[in-house]
C-alpha cells in the first residue's frame, strides 16, 4: 500500500502585516479555516536560525547580517581603497562593484548571494564581516535545522528562498512560484517558499500605498495558485504561512550619522558603529568614547539605548560581542537617514526592525491543517515556527512551543468587544427591530449593511443605572434596493433612535451601492473593510473594490474634523449659559468629545497614509506614529483613551472640566494643521486657515447640491451668492462653527471670534443684532448648527 503523500507547505510572505489580510480576497476568505495570529520577529534582521533551528537570538549569537569583525572581513581589500570616496568619487561606484565581486569569492555561496557593500562607506567596510554564511540546509550552519533533520530521516524537501532565489533567471514572486510548481514532486515532505516583493514595496511606497495593495493582490493570487496546486498533487497539505515581520509607516527621520561625525570621535580608533535603518550598534575602544556616545544618544527622543532589561526582553543578552556592544534602538516610525543601506536622497516610507512587540512590526501567522481547528491565538515568537513545523512534520522534539498547543483567544463578539453578558444579543435585537422597521416602509429592500463601530464588531455599549445594556452613539446602516421609496429615512432614523435610546440611527438608502474605484470616502472605506451584511446576499460584498488606505483623500479627514466641530457644537447647546448639562446632554457631549479626539487621531492616520477601520489598530498605530512625529504626549494619551473608550465606554471616566476645553483646543489646532496640509499652505491662525479652506473648497456644484438638499429650508439663502460662486455654502458653515467653538472659553466667550462667526454666517442668513455675549454666541450656534444639519450632515 502506498503511503499517503503529505506535504508541509511553508510560505514566508515577506513583510506581510496581519492587518493586510482584509485587503486580500482569497486569503482573507481562506484564513477563516486557519489557526490565525501574528508573529513577533526576532530582534534584528536575521531570523532564519529561529525559523529553522528554533533558536532565540541569544542562542544564534547574531541578530544582524553585519557584525564587527575586522579579522574576518571579506572587504579587507577596501583598506587599500579607503581614499577613493574622498579623492576620486567617480571611481567609488566601480570600486564597490569590484569589492563586491572580490568579497563574494571570500565567503560561502549562501553569503555570496547577498553580499554587497550597500551604502557602507569604503573606509568603514574592512571593519565588518557577514554573520549568516551558510544556508539553513548546509551541514556547516551550526545548528540541527529542519532541513538537516528531514534529510537525516530520509525525507526530501524543496526550497526557493532569499538570497539564493535571486540567482534564478527571474526572481520575482511569480517566477518563484512557477519554479516551485515545476520542481515540486509527490515525494517531497516539505516545501519552503519565500515571496519577497511585498517587502520592497512596503519600504519604498509605505504599507498603506496603492503599490502595496497591488502587491497584496498579486500575493493573494500566487498563494492561492500554490496552495491549490499542492492540494491537487498531495493527499494532504498542511500550510504554514507567516510574515517575517510587519511594516511600520515612517513619519520621521534622524541624521544620527551627522551627529556621530560631529562628536569628535574617530571611527575605527575610538569606536566603530554600524547604522541600520532602525538601530545603531556600537563597539568602543575607549571608555571615553562610550561615555561620549551615551551622552550624545541619551537626550535623543527618537530612540533609546537598550538597557539590561531590554537585552533580556529581546533575548539578545547572550549574543556575541561582535553583534553589538551598545545598541541604540529607534522608536517605531522613525528611521536613521542616511544609514548604511539607504543614501540621504533615498526616501523610505515603510520600515521594520523596531521593538519586535510593536503591533505594526508583527507579521501574519496562518496555519491550515485538516487536523487543526480554526481560531485565533496570541502573537507567537519566530522560533515557534520551528517547533510548529517539527510537530506538523511529526519529527521528534518538544511540543510545548508549537503554535498548535497555544491557548486560543476567546471568540470575538459580532457587534461589540465589551465584556458584558448578552451584549451582542441586545444589539442583535435592536438591529432586528431596525431592519423590520425599514422593511415595513421598504418591503422591496434587497440588502441591509451595518457599518460604523458595530459593523466592525467593536461598537460601544454600556450598562445604564437600571442595569440595561445600551448601545453608544449611533447605528450606521446602508439600505439597498431597486426603487427607493419616497420616505424620509432621516426622520425614520430619528424616530428609531428615540425608541432604542441612542443618539442617532443613520440610514442611507441607495439604489445600488457602487463605491468608486479610486478616492473612496471614509464611508466607502468603512463599507469595504468594516461592514456586515444584516440582510441580503453576501455576494454583493465580495464585488467591492479593495482600497489602499492612501487612496482616501485628505479632504475626507478635514471634513471629518469639521463634522466633529459640529458635533461638539450640537452638544454644547445652552452650555454657555448653564454650564450644567443634564445627564442626557452630558452623555451626548461625552460622545462628541470622544469622537472629536478620534477624528484627530484619524486625521493623522490619513495624513500618514495608514488608516485602518478598526479602533484597536488605529489606537496603537496612532500612539506609536504620533510619538515618533512629535505630537504632544498629552494629546496622544487622550486620543488613545478615546479609541479605547469607543470599544469599552465608561461615561464616568469623562469629566467635562478635564476633557472639553483641551479637546476643543487640540481639535482646532489639528484643523489648522490639516487645512495647511490639504491646501499646501501655512495658515497663521484659525481664521486664516478657514479663509484658505473656504477659498480652496468653494464650488458652484457643491452649492447647487446644497440648494437641492434644502429645497424645503426655512432660510432665505441669497441666491446670487451661490450662482456667482464667490461664497461656498458648506465651507462657510464649517468656518462659522469652528469660529464659534474657538470663541468658547471656560468662563466667557471671545467676542472677536463671535463677531467673525457672525460675519461668516451673515453671508448665508439674516441674523438679529446683539451684543457679543453668551446670548449672541448661542444665537449664532443655533443658526450654524441648523445649517450644518440641513446642508452638511
Measured from the CB atom, the residue of 98 and 715 that comes closer to other proteins is 98
Measured from the CB atom, the residue of 269 and 511 that comes closer to other proteins is 269
Smallest distance from other proteins to CB 70, Å: 8
d(CA 10, CA 26): 18
Q: Which helix (H) or strand (E) holds 606?
A: helix 583-607
Strands 248-249 and 350-351, by their bridges, are: antiparallel
Three-state DSSP class for 706? Answer: helix
User: Going edge to edge, which strands form the sheet with 271-275?
Assistant: 271-275, 279-284, 326-330, 303-305
Residue with cell 517587502: 199
DSSP 186-254: TTEEEEEEEE-HHHHHHHHH-TTSHHHHHHHHHHHHHHHHHHHHHHHHSSEEEEEEE-S---EEP-EEE
What is the b/e burial string over 539-571, where b = at least 16 CB atoms within 10 angstroms of the residue's CB? eebeebebbbbbbbbbbbbbbbbbbbbbbbbbb
Three-state DSSP class for 534? Answer: strand
Could you tell me how many residues make up the chain?
Answer: 793
Measured from the CB atom, the residue of 127 and 722 that comes closer to other proteins is 127
Q: Is 1 in the site for other proteins (CB under 8 A)?
A: no
For residues 521-560, which are near other proteins according to CB under 8 A? Answer: none
Cβ–Cβ < 8 Å for 463, 648: no
Q: Is 80 in the site for other proteins (CB under 8 A)?
A: yes
Q: Is 398 in the site for other proteins (CB under 8 A)?
A: no
Question: What is the 3 state secondary structure string of 724-781?
Answer: HCCCCHHHHHHHHHHHHHHHECCCCECHHHHHHHHHHHCCCCCCCCCCCCHHHHHHHH
Q: Helix H segments across 608-685?
A: 615-629, 633-647, 656-679
Three-state DSSP class for 181? Answer: helix
Smallest distance from other proteins to CB 297, Å: 20
Smallest distance from other proteins to CB 279, Å: 24
Measured from the CB atom, the residue of 168 and 288 that comes closer to other proteins is 288
Measured from the CB atom, the residue of 74 and 208 that comes closer to other proteins is 74
d(CA 644, CA 616): 7
Smallest distance from other proteins to CB 326, Å: 16
Smallest distance from other proteins to CB 261, Å: 17
Residue with cell 568602543: 284
Measured from the CB atom, the residue of 84 and 150 that comes closer to other proteins is 84
Q: Is 91 in the site for other proteins (CB under 8 A)?
A: yes
Question: What is the 3 state secondary structure string of 272-319?
Answer: EEEECCCEEEEEECCHHHHHHHHHHHCCCCCEEECCHHHHHHCCCCCC
Among 21, 67, 95, 744, binds other proteins (CB under 8 A): 95
- Part in contact with other proteins (CB under 8 A); list of ranges 78-86, 373-381, 394-402, 544-552: 78-86
- Part in contact with other proteins (CB under 8 A); list of ranges 74-82, 540-548, 713-721, 785-793: 74-82
Cβ–Cβ < 8 Å for 264, 32: no
- Part in contact with other proteins (CB under 8 A); list of ranges 95-103, 134-142, 188-196, 199-207: 95-103
Smallest distance from other proteins to CB 83, Å: 9
Rg for the chain (alpha carbons), in Å?
Answer: 30
Q: Which helix (H) or strand (E) holds 786?
A: helix 774-791
Smallest distance from other proteins to CB 399, Å: 46
Nearest alpha carbon to residue 246 among 472, 25, 14, 529: 14
Measured from the CB atom, the residue of 102 and 767 that comes closer to other proteins is 102
Strands 380-381 and 35-40, by their bridges, are: parallel
Measured from the CB atom, the residue of 78 and 791 that comes closer to other proteins is 78
Measured from the CB atom, the residue of 285 and 414 that comes closer to other proteins is 285
Site residue total, other proteins (CB under 8 A): 20
Measured from the CB atom, the residue of 106 and 573 that comes closer to other proteins is 106
For residues 230-269, which are near other proteins according to CB under 8 A? Answer: 266, 269
Smallest distance from other proteins to CB 298, Å: 19
Among 98, 118, 137, 774, binds other proteins (CB under 8 A): 98
Cβ–Cβ < 8 Å for 259, 296: yes
Smallest distance from other proteins to CB 92, Å: 11
Measured from the CB atom, the residue of 268 and 516 that comes closer to other proteins is 268
- Part in contact with other proteins (CB under 8 A); list of ranges 76-84, 213-221, 458-466, 733-741: 76-84
Q: Is 78 in the site for other proteins (CB under 8 A)?
A: yes
Q: Is 76 in the site for other proteins (CB under 8 A)?
A: yes
d(CA 298, CA 85): 31
Among 79, 439, 586, 755, binds other proteins (CB under 8 A): 79
Cell numbers standing for residue 61:
549569537
d(CA 736, CA 239): 58
d(CA 114, CA 110): 7
What is the b/e burial string over 750-769, where b = at least 16 CB atoms within 10 angstroms of the residue's CB? beebbebbbebbebbbeeee
Measured from the CB atom, the residue of 294 and 696 that comes closer to other proteins is 294
d(CA 112, CA 100): 9
Upstream peptide bond of 610 is cis (omega within 30 degrees of 0): no
Smallest distance from other proteins to CB 88, Å: 8
φ, ψ for residue 384 (rounded to 5)?
A: -70, -20
Smallest distance from other proteins to CB 154, Å: 42
The DSSP code for 488 is: -
For residues 263-302, which are near other proteins according to CB under 8 A? Answer: 266, 269-270, 285-288
Nearest alpha carbon to residue 394 among 112, 197, 587, 189: 189
Measured from the CB atom, the residue of 290 and 664 that comes closer to other proteins is 290
Measured from the CB atom, the residue of 101 and 577 that comes closer to other proteins is 101
Cell numbers standing for residue 500:
432604542
Smallest distance from other proteins to CB 649, Å: 59
Measured from the CB atom, the residue of 94 and 632 that comes closer to other proteins is 94
Smallest distance from other proteins to CB 115, Å: 16
Among 25, 85, 92, 102, binds other proteins (CB under 8 A): 102
Q: Is 81 in the site for other proteins (CB under 8 A)?
A: yes
For residues 14-73, which are near other proteins according to CB under 8 A? Answer: 71
Measured from the CB atom, the residue of 124 and 608 that comes closer to other proteins is 124
Measured from the CB atom, the residue of 80 and 516 that comes closer to other proteins is 80
Among 86, 93, 94, 318, binds other proteins (CB under 8 A): 94
The helix-helix angle for 774-791 and 729-743 (nearest 10°) equals 150
Measured from the CB atom, the residue of 2 and 71 that comes closer to other proteins is 71
Smallest distance from other proteins to CB 61, Å: 22
Smallest distance from other proteins to CB 379, Å: 42
Q: Is 326 in the site for other proteins (CB under 8 A)?
A: no
- Part in contact with other proteins (CB under 8 A); list of ranges 90-98, 113-121, 317-325, 648-656: 90-98
Among 25, 59, 77, 435, binds other proteins (CB under 8 A): 77
Strands 474-480 and 504-510, by their bridges, are: parallel
Smallest distance from other proteins to CB 288, Å: 6
Smallest distance from other proteins to CB 98, Å: 6
- Part in contact with other proteins (CB under 8 A); list of ranges 77-85, 199-207, 438-446, 590-598: 77-85
Smallest distance from other proteins to CB 272, Å: 11
Note the residues at the interface with other proteins (CB under 8 A).
71, 76-81, 84, 91, 94-95, 98, 102, 266, 269-270, 285-288
Amino acid at each position: 500500500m502506498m503511503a499517503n503523500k503529505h506535504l508541509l507547505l511553508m510560505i514566508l510572505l515577506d513583510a506581510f502585516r496581519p492587518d493586510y489580510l482584509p485587503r486580500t480576497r482569497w486569503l482573507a476568505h481562506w484564513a477563516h479555516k486557519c489557526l490565525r495570529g501574528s508573529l513577533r520577529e526576532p530582534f534584528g534582521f536575521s531570523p532564519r536560525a529561529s525559523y529553522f533551528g528554533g533558536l532565540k537570538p541569544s542562542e544564534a549569537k547574531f541578530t544582524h547580517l553585519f557584525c564587527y569583525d575586522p579579522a574576518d572581513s571579506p572587504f579587507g581589500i577596501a583598506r587599500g581603497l579607503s581614499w577613493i570616496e574622498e579623492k576620486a568619487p567617480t571611481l567609488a561606484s566601480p570600486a564597490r562593484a569590484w569589492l563586491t565581486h572580490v568579497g563574494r569569492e571570500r565567503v560561502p555561496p549562501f553569503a555570496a548571494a547577498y553580499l554587497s557593500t550597500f551604502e557602507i562607506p569604503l573606509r568603514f567596510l574592512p571593519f565588518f564581516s557577514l554573520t549568516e554564511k551558510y544556508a539553513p540546509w548546509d551541514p556547516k550552519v551550526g545548528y540541527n535545522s529542519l532541513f538537516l533533520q528531514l534529510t537525516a530521516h530520509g525525507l526530501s524537501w524543496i526550497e526557493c528562498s532569499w538570497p539564493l532565489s535571486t540567482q534564478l533567471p527571474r526572481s520575482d514572486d511569480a517566477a518563484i512560484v512557477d519554479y516551485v510548481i515545476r520542481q515540486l514532486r509527490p515525494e517531497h515532505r516539505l516545501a519552503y517558499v519565500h515571496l519577497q516583493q511585498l517587502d520592497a514595496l512596503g519600504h519604498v511606497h509605505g504599507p498603506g500605498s496603492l503599490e502595496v495593495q497591488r502587491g497584496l493582490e498579486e500575493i493573494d493570487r500566487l498563494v492561492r495558485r500554490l496552495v491549490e496546486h499542492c492540494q491537487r498533487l498531495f493527499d494532504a497539505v498542511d500550510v504554514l504561512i507567516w510574515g517575517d515581520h510587519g511594516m511600520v509607516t515612517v513619519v520621521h527621520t534622524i541624521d544620527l550619522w551627522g551627529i556621530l561625525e560631529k562628536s569628535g570621535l574617530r571611527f575605527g580608533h575610538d569606536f566603530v558603529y554600524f547604522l541600520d535603518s532602525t538601530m545603531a550598534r556600537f563597539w568602543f575602544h575607549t571608555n571615553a568614547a562610550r561615555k561620549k556616545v551615551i551622552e550624545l544618544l541619551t537626550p535623543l527622543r527618537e530612540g533609546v539605548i537598550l538597557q539590561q532589561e531590554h537585552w533580556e526582553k529581546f533575548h539578545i543578552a547572550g549574543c556575541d560581542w561582535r553583534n553589538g556592544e551598545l545598541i541604540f534602538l529607534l522608536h517605531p516610525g522613525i528611521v536613521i537617514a542616511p544609514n548604511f543601506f539607504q543614501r540621504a536622497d533615498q526616501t523610505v516610507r515603510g520600515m521594520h526592525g523596531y521593538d519586535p512587540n510593536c503591533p505594526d512590526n508583527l507579521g501574519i501567522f496562518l496555519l491550515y491543517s485538516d487536523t487543526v481547528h480554526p481560531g485565533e491565538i496570541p502573537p507567537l515568537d519566530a522560533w515557534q515556527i520551528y517547533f510548529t513545523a517539527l510537530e506538523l512534520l511529526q519529527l521528534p522534539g518538544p511540543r510545548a512551543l508549537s503554535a498548535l498547543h497555544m491557548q486560543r483567544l476567546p471568540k470575538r463578539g459580532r457587534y461589540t468587544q465589551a465584556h458584558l453578558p448578552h451584549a451582542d444579543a441586545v444589539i442583535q435585537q435592536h438591529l432586528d427591530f431596525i431592519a423590520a422597521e425599514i422593511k415595513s416602509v421598504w418591503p422591496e429592500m434587497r440588502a441591509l449593511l451595518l457599518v460604523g463601530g458595530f459593523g466592525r464588531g467593536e461598537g460601544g455599549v454600556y450598562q445604564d443605572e437600571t442595569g440595561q445594556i445600551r448601545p453608544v452613539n449611533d447605528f450606521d446602516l446602508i439600505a439597498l434596493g431597486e426603487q427607493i421609496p419616497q420616505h424620509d429615512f432621516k426622520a425614520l432614523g430619528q424616530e428609531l433612535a428615540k425608541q432604542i435610546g441612542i443618539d442617532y440611527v443613520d440610514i442611507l438608502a441607495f439604489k445600488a451601492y457602487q463605491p468608486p474605484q479610486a478616492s473612496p470616502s471614509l464611508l466607502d472605506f468603512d463599507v469595504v473593510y468594516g461592514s456586515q451584511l444584516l440582510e441580503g446576499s453576501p455576494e454583493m460584498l465580495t464585488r467591492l473594490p479593495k482600497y489602499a488606505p492612501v487612496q482616501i483623500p485628505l479632504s475626507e479627514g478635514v471634513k471629518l474634523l469639521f463634522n466633529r466641530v459640529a458635533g461638539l457644537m450640537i452638544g454644547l447647546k445652552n452650555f454657555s449659559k448653564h454650564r450644567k448639562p443634564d445627564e442626557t446632554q452630558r452623555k451626548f457631549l461625552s460622545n462628541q468629545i470622544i469622537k472629536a479626539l478620534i477624528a484627530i487621531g484619524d486625521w493623522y492616520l490619513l495624513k500618514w497614509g495608514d488608516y485602518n477601520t478598526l479602533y484597536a489598530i488605529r489606537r496603537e498605530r496612532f500612539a506609536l506614529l504620533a510619538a515618533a512625529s512629535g505630537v504632544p504626549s498629552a494629546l496622544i494619551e487622550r486620543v488613545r483613551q478615546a479609541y479605547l473608550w469607543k470599544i469599552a465606554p465608561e461615561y464616568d471616566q469623562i469629566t467635562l472640566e478635564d476633557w472639553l476645553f483641551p479637546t476643543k483646543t487640540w481639535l482646532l489646532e489639528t484643523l489648522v494643521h490639516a487645512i495647511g496640509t490639504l491646501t499646501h499652505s501655512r495658515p497663521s491662525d484659525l481664521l486664516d486657515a478657514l479663509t484658505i479652506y473656504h477659498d480652496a473648497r468653494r464650488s458652484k456644484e457643491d452649492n447647487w447640491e446644497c440648494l437641492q438638499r434644502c429645497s424645503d429650508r426655512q432660510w432665505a439663502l441669497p441666491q446670487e451668492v451661490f450662482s456667482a460662486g464667490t461664497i461656498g455654502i458648506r465651507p462657510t458653515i464649517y468656518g462659522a462653527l469652528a469660529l464659534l467653538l474657538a470663541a468658547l472659553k471656560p468662563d466667557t466667550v471671545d467676542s472677536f471670534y463671535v463677531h467673525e462667526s457672525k460675519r461668516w454666517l451673515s453671508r448665508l442668513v439674516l441674523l438679529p443684532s446683539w451684543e457679543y455675549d453668551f446670548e449672541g454666541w448661542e444665537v449664532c450656534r443655533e443658526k450654524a448648527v441648523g445649517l450644518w444639519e440641513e446642508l452638511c450632515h
